[in-house]
């Protein structure tokens, strides 16, 4: 196990004082609090990367499972685009504007699907069977898929936008 005794220059998270403590040396406390904040940001980023990989797998699976849909090509393309956004984020190549475009497209598509099932299906019908029961149920599930893609694009796009803002504020 790593310890600060063996490696005196190594600062481990558990070696740092809590961020609320005050020191006679103000700069030392600020550095420790900054290191804690960086550790928290790194943990959040790791959690986001894991969640992104799960979303990537879900979008790839959703695209593959569309082959038996009445209109497969548009849905396969849609879920492939969502998977590509996840892959670009994972590789560090995602621009927030790309995620925003797909997210807005997904919301608009969802809004166009709403009249087909609002008031015609219930939640129990949506989840009672995996097979397609009626066209209304199919439309409602498709709308749910577009909302999931829109929500995930918002999460990734917002993350990248905040990264961009942090970089520009650091350079100023």
- What digits encode the pLDDT tens for the residues 29-73? 555 555 556 666 666 778 999 999 999 999 999 999 988 887 889
Model pTM above 0.85: no
Q: What percentage of the chain exceeds 90 in pLDDT?
A: 44
Whole-angstrom CA distances from 99 to 6, 125, 130, 151 are 45, 32, 29, 10
Q: CB neighbours of 11 closer than 8 A, spacing ≥ 6?
A: 4, 35
Cα–Cα distances in Å, from 115 out to 24, 96, 109?
A: 65, 30, 11
Statement: residue 24 has pLDDT above 50: no
Average model confidence (pLDDT) for the chain?
80
Q: Which of 32-46, 52-66, 95-109, 139-153 has the lowest mean pLDDT?
A: 32-46
- Please, what is the angle between helix 135-171 and helix 26-65, to 10°? 150
Residue 127 scores a pLDDT above 70: no
Instruction: Say what percent of the chain tops pLDDT 70.
Output: 67
Residue 23 has pLDDT above 50, yes or no: no
Q: Is pLDDT above 70 for 148?
A: yes
Q: Which residue has the tokens 């995620």?
A: 99
User: Which residue's entry shows tokens 């943990």?
Assistant: 43
């Amino acid at each position: 196990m790593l310890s600060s005794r063996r490696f005196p220059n190594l600062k481990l998270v558990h070696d740092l004082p809590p961020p609320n403590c005050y020191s006679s040396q103000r700069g030392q406390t600020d550095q420790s609090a900054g290191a804690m904040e960086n550790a928290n940001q790194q943990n959040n980023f790791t959690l986001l990367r894991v969640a992104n990989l799960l979303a990537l797998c879900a979008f790839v699976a959703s695209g593959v499972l569309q082959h038996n849909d009445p209109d497969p090509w548009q849905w396969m393309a849609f879920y492939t685009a969502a998977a590509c956004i996840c892959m670009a984020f994972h590789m560090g190549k995602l621009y927030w504007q790309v995620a925003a475009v797909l997210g807005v497209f997904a919301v608009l598509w969802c809004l166009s699907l709403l009249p087909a099932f609002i008031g015609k299906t219930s939640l129990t019908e949506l989840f009672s069977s995996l097979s397609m029961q009626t066209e209304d149920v199919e439309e409602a599930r498709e709308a749910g898929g577009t909302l999931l893609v829109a929500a995930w694009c918002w999460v990734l796009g917002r993350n990248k936008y905040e990264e961009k803002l942090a970089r520009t504020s650091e350079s100023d």
